[in-house]
Amino acid sequence: MTATLGTDIAEAAALLKAGRLVAFPTETVYGLGANAMDGVAVARVFEAKQRPEFDPLIVHIADSSWLDRVVTDVPPLARLLMERFWPGPLTLVLPKLDSVPDLVSSGLDTVGVRQPAHPIAIELIAEAGTPIAAPSANLFGRISPTAAQHVVDQLADRIDYVFDGGSCSVGIESTVVAVDGDRVVVLRPGGLTLEALRGVAPKVEFNDSEDTETQHASPGRTLQHYAPRTALVVRESPTLTDAERHLAVGLLSHNPGEGPAGFAMIERLEPDLPRAAAEFFAALRRLDASQLDLIVATPFPEYGLGIALNDRLNRAAAGARPA
């Protein structure tokens, strides 16, 4: 099988209805979509991505009126967040309807739901007429795709269609939250900032724990994720050790200024965090494709999208092979 690369909504929607796999653009990253109500189609997603079955998928809906197809209840605070932030980069974890296959939620009694803010995604889901389960369209643990070509490079021989909708404007995945009374628990930082959530919810807590007791709450939060093939270290200042001077080292940095000495390649992101996020995964891919021995990345400030970007950087470092 080789995926068709195209822009035909009717063709892509027909494939989804038939239980096939279609990668499509969202404002965050490209998703690998399948009919969420079809357990066999969902199983194909796990197979194509080589994704472990303990890592649940997000269900994408065309309109909030579709919620009653996938969840049993929408608590008032969840409703408020949807009204404020949907369509957009916010996934809400809510109690799952039995009719949603257990594989979608990895056996949990909750399901993550989101209405993406991308006209192609909305049109495609509406035309397919069914909620669409979609993880990021990359092999498990690897760098997330923000352009159709990224998907083609990794998954072309495993899926049916790649819808080319250009580059993703946000560039990092959605913020995943659960609500508990008047508390918002952030399970994964992402494209919607904590500051934005705090503007609406009285209590926003960041569930940053990697310990096993809280793993069940966010099973997909494996430390090794978003990983390049090249070794990667996160370092405050863009300098090289003596040993590294003999290596081909690339730099990923959002700090403006002169190019520091000794780097074989520099990917400079915009200091503006939304613009840095939009370019982040593509820049990491370019570095990873450049036969470097090592990638040095400088951390982002710990506010706004910087929190989600640092999360991706630290996981990429943990998942990359040692230098």
CA pseudo-torsion sign 169, 170, 173, 175: negative
CB nearer to ligand TXA: give 56 or 101: 56
Size of the site for ligand TXA (CB under 6 A): 29
* Closest CB 314 distance from ligand TXA, rounded Å: 15
> Is residue 26 a contact point for ligand TXA (CB under 6 A)?
yes
Contacts of 25 by beta carbon, 8 Å cutoff, 6+ apart = 118, 120, 121, 148, 163, 164, 165, 166, 168
Residue that the structure tokens 């990923």 belong to:
252
Among positions 3, 15, 23, 28, the unique one binding ligand TXA when judged by CB under 6 A:
28
* Shortest distance in whole angstroms from residue 8 CB to ligand TXA: 20
214 binds ligand TXA (CB under 6 A): no
Strand order in the sheet with 231-234: 231-234, 294-297, 249-253, 265-268
Considering beta carbons, is residue 175 or 253 the nearer one to ligand TXA? 175
**Is residue 101 a contact residue for ligand TXA (CB under 6 A)?**
no
Q: How many C-alpha atoms does 69 have within 13 Å on its Cβ side? A: 18
Q: Cis link prior to 228 (omega < 30° from 0)?
A: no
130-149 binders of Mg ion (CB under 5 A):
136
Which of ligand TXA, Mg ion, none does residue 131 bind (CB under 5 to 8 Å by kind)?
A: none
Contact between 93 and ligand TXA per CB under 6 A? yes
Note whether 228 binds ligand TXA by CB under 6 A: no
Burial of 81 (0-12, 13-18, 19+ CB in 10 A): buried
Contact set for ligand TXA, span 130-189 (CB under 6 A): 134-136, 173-174, 176, 187-188
Q: For residue 92, what are the β-bridge partners?
A: 113, 177
Quote the DSSP letter at residue 27. Answer: S
- The one segment of 34-42, 51-59, 240-248, 312-320 that binds ligand TXA by CB under 6 A: 51-59
The one-character DSSP state at 66 is G
What is the SS3 assignment for 273? Answer: helix
Q: Answer with the entry of ligand TXA, Mg ion, none that 146 interacts with (C-beta below 5 to 8 A by kind).
A: none
Q: For residues 34 and 93, which CB has a smaller minimum distance to ligand TXA in the complex? A: 93
Residues in Cβ contact with 65 at an 8 Å cutoff, skipping those fewer than 6 apart: none
* Residues near Mg ion, by CB under 5 A: 136
* Residues near ligand TXA, by CB under 6 A: 26, 28-29, 31, 55-58, 89, 91, 93, 105, 108, 110-112, 114, 116, 134-136, 173-174, 176, 187-188, 218, 220-221
